[in-house]
Homo-oligomer: A and B are copies of this chain.
Amino acid sequence: MFYREEIQIETTGHRDMHELTCRVEAIAERSGIKNGLVHVFNEGSTGVIGTIEYEPGLERDLPEMLDRLIPPSLDYGHERQWHDGNGHSHLQASLAGPETTIPLANGRLVLGAWQQVFHLEADIKPRTRRIIVTVLGG
């Protein structure tokens, strides 16, 4: 069995985070599928999907950590080629990844009590993001 739905979010640009757990869970419910896997995917090369304890501290820490490891200020080949100022955005998103998969058991996402699904905007300007949620199961 298979089901797909999209989530649309508006981001304010670099470092903006969204909590998606409830919306992903609602899609899993609408799917009618009770057991299997739920896949969450950011369409585009400068957005990140993952899981985290979604609270104000880590909402600041995660993008700050990525900017510390992959700073906007370095000299990137992408910049020399395109001059669009988002070389670090691409590298952050490729390293952290645009997708995650979560088990579905008896109609519920299997997540820890402090484990939520997040979207992180790595691009430097506000973006409308399409997030594709796919449910596969039996």
- Which A residues lie at the B interface, using CB under 8 A? 1-2, 4, 35-37, 39, 41, 43-45, 50-53, 55-62, 64-65, 69-70, 76-82, 87, 90-91, 94-103, 105, 110-112, 114-116, 132, 134, 136-138
Contact = CB atoms under 8 A, between A and B. Distances in A.
B136 A36 contact: yes
5 contacts: A2-B36, A41-B101, A55-B78, A98-B115, A99-B100
Given A41-B110, A94-B96, 13 more contacts: A2-B138, A39-B101, A41-B101, A43-B112, A44-B112, A44-B115, A45-B51, A52-B94, A65-B70, A95-B95, A97-B100, A99-B100, A103-B134
A90 B4 contact: no
Contacts of A138: 1-2, 136
A19 B97 CA distance: 17
A81 B60 CA distance: 11
A113 to B, nearest CB: 8
Contacts of A97: 50, 97, 100
A78 B46 CA distance: 25
